[in-house]
Amino acid sequence: MWGTTLGLALAVIFVGHDARAVQATVPLGSAATFGVLAATTVTTVPVTTVNGDLGVSPGNTVTGAPIVNGTTHLGDPTAAQAQGDLTVAYNDAAGRTLGSVLVAGNLGGQTLAPGLYTSTTSLEISSGDLTLDALGDPNAVWIFQMASTLTTTAGRQVILSGGAQAANIFWQVGSSATIGTTSVFKGNILAYTAITMNTGATLDGRALARNGAVALDGNTITVPTIVAPSVTLVSTGVVTGSYTDAAGQSLNVATKTITVPMSGNMQFYRIRSSTALAITSITISGGNVVITYN
């Protein structure tokens, strides 16, 4: 234990997962910068806004005039590399088996914890919205595998709760995906063939099609970013005693970085010092907590 001189505690708290196996994220490689990536063509009528890159490969055609708040790559080496990395990511997602939960048909009206969900046919979101609950874990990952199509009906939503992040949701679609009119969709769509986004649908994620077209219709697509996990400062001020971090390493520099394990359990980091230390700032970058003091 830490003894009687404990003065400051940093508690990094995550709610435990259920029995499903924790899934690692699916690396997208160079495809990660693309909001839209197609193999043959991208069409948009009327104007669609893409907050991220747009690419086509091996084709080189865009029909319409999308607003691209990024870079457009048409049949160039960058788009080709992104397609290659998409193929790797698609095969990664399709090849997962550990902890798979069998699902089928309509996911609407359900609340799903993080994990791997597999359908031997199609999946849809209809007659209700789908809620994805991270259970307090900001790095929670969902992978949905389906042998055939993905469809949402008009106005349906994917709702995120418990710290869930769109960047950590992957839809591996065995054929084509259709996102319904005015739907609000979250996650990365990795489609074997094509993707259609109907009028006014929005996507916090990526529309990535390996072998066909991406058809757009007045949509907004935004490449998601990872929001750093939160840290709760349990007690503040000057601390006394001796200092070690959770790994037993002594403090001997003016800025200390502690790596936060992203498990499903509560983790504590306790700080002690043999001289008075005033904590001046605590910042978070990805999975790291950086403590600055004097």
Angle at 260 between CA 259 and CA 266, to 5 degrees: 150
Coil, helix or strand at residue 195: strand
pLDDT in tens, 84-102: 999 999 999 999 999 999 9
Report the alpha-carbon distance of residue 135 to residue 18 in Å, rounded. 9
- β-strand pairing of 130-133 with 105-106: unpaired
* In contact, 68 and 54? CB cutoff 8 Å: yes
Report the alpha-carbon distance of residue 44 to residue 221 in Å, rounded. 12
| For residues 89-118, average pLDDT | 97
* Reported pTM: 0.75
| For residues 73-88, average pLDDT | 98
Tell me phi and psi for residue 106, to 5 degrees. -90, 120
pLDDT in tens, 143-172: 999 999 999 999 999 999 998 999 999 999
Q: Map out the domains of the chain as residue ranges.
A: 8-18+228-293, 29-222
